[in-house]
Amino acid sequence: MKHVVMFSGGIGSWAAAKLVAKEHGTENLYLVFTDVKGDAKSPHIGEDEDTYRFLNDAVANIGGHYIYLNEGRDIWQVFKDKKFLGNSRVAHCSHILKQKPARAWVNKNIDPKDSIIYVGIDWTETHRLPAIIKNYLPYKVIAPLTEPPYLDKPQLIEWAISESLAPPRLYSLGFSHNNCGGGCVRAGQGQFKKLLETMPERFTMWEQKEQEVREHLNKDVAILSEMKNGIKRPLPLIELRRRVEDQPQLVDADDIGGCGCFFEDDERQDDE
């Protein structure tokens, strides 16, 4: 039996893999990571640089076979190619750069008759499980962290530290996930506010790349949105910056969001 963990670079997928390794060993354990940084010549930030350190340390801690995949584009190239800027409702970036390469590798290398797919969602995310199971058919899917003893993220981080494994640095900076260097098109106002306050240069990159896509599409679109007078309207990052700096009371700091890159079921998904 082969055991395939969708290894996102977050603390949840590490913990899920640890549980699988404990129960089934590591001889037939596969840790599948898909990168979003683009090709080697791409200058644009995708994953946080500490993610690669964590991945290497995590694989050494767990054991098994590490599978590295890279579609070749970054998220901004995908948005231009698809002529659509990703947002909280539709994230083509995760579908094209994460889900499709991982599923292609699974289809080519893993027989559903003698394999199990594992994902790192925890007990607070069980509402995602039906869609995950459906998306991975005919493969069987298990989410170990949705089962007892129901550990939460702080406990998972403590577990990693107890094994001398330093968690991804974004958690210590106050981010709720380790996706896309602290950004993410599914993130909310609060997430990007934190990005601006903790890593202003990286926020500026997101701000500039968003504006490039807006100009490329010649449309008033944005990653973020807001309701104004009962109407949903785009909220560009350049405007969010102005509010954080001049009118912080207008920023919804509790709006965090975050992507489930390996298993979201978008309202709109195109095959490319």
Query: What confidence tier does 146 reach under pLDDT thresholds 50, 70, 90?
Result: very high
239 HSE (CA, 13 A, CB side): 14
Specify whether the CB–CB gap between 33 and 9 falls below 8 A: yes
Q: Give whichever of 13-22, 35-44, 80-89 has the largest mean pLDDT.
A: 13-22
The pTM is what?
Answer: 0.91
Angle, helices 200-217/75-82, rounded to nearest 10 degrees:
10
For residue range 51-103, what is the model confidence (pLDDT) as tens digits?
Answer: 999 999 999 999 999 999 999 999 999 999 999 999 988 999 999 999 999 99
Q: Which segments of the chain does DSSP mark as H helices, in order? A: 11-24, 49-62, 75-82, 92-94, 100-109, 129-135, 153-162, 169-172, 189-198, 200-217, 237-246
249 pLDDT more than 60: yes
